[in-house]
């Protein structure tokens, strides 16, 4: 049985727009939020990996959240990424996000430092305890170097720690997380349909920058029992999914190139250490989007 969807079913970890001189483009960021909500989204995640959160200051993160909240109003939930590899920094971001009215917090495993499970649990407990805002844990060992253990999930589960964005892809383990009371969101677009088949609430996408309506249709068809239609949509989106997710350091770079191709942004600026897609890479991306009937 598909789990409840506390923050909606179709969400995207949205990009942050930047000006040519590297400043946060608040108008551009608001335009991205408008675009997503106008294209089938129940919610957005700001200041995650795709939002280039490691490169933004606390003040910038607050401005990004504020402008997105203003842009979407009550049309969508807004989840604020607050995960870093510095517990005090994450607490500061979490408390700021709560004050600004975030509907939930996205809390990634501390990266680079590679703490043991005792350290992961301590980090989570400190950040969770600093606010009363609901928390989505983000498990993405390919980026963080550390996977959250089932024991840590069991110990941190509470009335406010309610969901997991999963980029591990262990579906049997996902069923165990459902049994612990977590709602699961697919954190890897290639696994979206498989996660739905294992009881996930929905998705937190990157491909959703270009494919909000089709992904929403896939989710709704699956939940309605029309698995054949859901599979057809999944297959239709595979060229775009491959093009978007197949680039090194995909996320911000490919999302912004998609938004430029769609006319939402007039540039594909990113902050270092990322660099924008080359013209050849944009050409390959365009071909993938066209093959999936998204352009």
The catalytic residues are: 138, 165
CB 277 within 8 A of CB 75: no
How many H-runs (helices) and E-runs (strands) does the chain carry?
Answer: 12, 8
Write down the H helix ranges in the chain: 26-38, 58-72, 87-99, 117-129, 141-144, 150-156, 171-179, 192-197, 208-223, 227-245, 252-261, 279-291
As a whole number of angstroms, the distance between CA 42 and CA 35 comes to: 12
Q: Estimate to the nearest angstrom the gap between the alpha carbon of 280 and the chain centroid.
A: 26
Core vs surface per residue 199-212: b (16+ CB within 10 A) or e: bbbbbbbbbbbbbb
> How many CB atoms sit inside 10 A of residue 89's CB?
14
Q: Which of 109, 164, 106 is nearest to 133 (CA)?
A: 106
Which sign, positive or negative, has the C-alpha torsion 264, 270, 274, 278? positive
As a whole number of angstroms, the distance between CA 193 and CA 188 comes to: 10
CB 5 within 8 A of CB 76: no
As a whole number of angstroms, the distance between CA 285 and CA 272 comes to: 21
- Alpha-carbon distance values, 67 to 25, 31, 108, 256 (Å): 10, 10, 23, 18
């Amino acid at each position: 049985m598909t789990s409840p969807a506390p923050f909606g079913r179709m969400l995207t970890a949205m990009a942050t727009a930047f000006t040519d001189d590297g400043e946060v483009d608040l108008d551009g960021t608001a335009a991205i939020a408008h675009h997503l909500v106008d294209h089938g989204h129940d919610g957005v995640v700001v200041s995650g990996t795709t939002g280039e959160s490691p490169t933004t200051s606390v003040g910038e993160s607050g401005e990004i959240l504020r402008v997105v909240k203003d842009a979407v109003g009550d049309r969508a939930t807004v989840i604020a990424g607050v995960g870093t590899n510095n517990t005090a920094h994450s607490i500061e971001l979490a408390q700021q996000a709560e004050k600004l009215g975030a509907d939930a917090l996205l809390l990634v495993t501390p990266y680079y430092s590679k703490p043991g499970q005792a350290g992961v649990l301590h980090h989570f407990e400190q950040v969770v305890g600093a606010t009363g805002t609901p928390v989505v844990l983000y498990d993405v060992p390919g980026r963080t170097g550390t996977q959250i253990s089932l024991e840590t999930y069991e110990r941190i589960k509470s009335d406010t720690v309610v969901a997991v964005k999963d980029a591990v892809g262990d579906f049997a383990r996902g069923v165990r997380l459902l049994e612990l009371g977590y709602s699961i969101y697919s954190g890897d677009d290639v696994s979206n349909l498989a996660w739905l088949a294992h009881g996930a609430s929905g998705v937190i996408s990157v491909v959703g920058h270009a494919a909000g309506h089709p992904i929403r249709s896939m989710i709704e068809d699956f939940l309605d029992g029309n698995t054949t239609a859901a599979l057809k949509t999944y297959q239709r989106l595979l060229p775009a999914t491959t093009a978007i997710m197949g680039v090194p350091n995909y996320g911000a770079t490919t999302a912004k190139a998609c938004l430029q191709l769609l006319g939402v942004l007039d540039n594909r600026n990113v902050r270092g250490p990322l660099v924008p897609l080359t013209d050849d890479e944009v050409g390959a991306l365009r071909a993938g989007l066209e093959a999936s009937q998204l352009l």
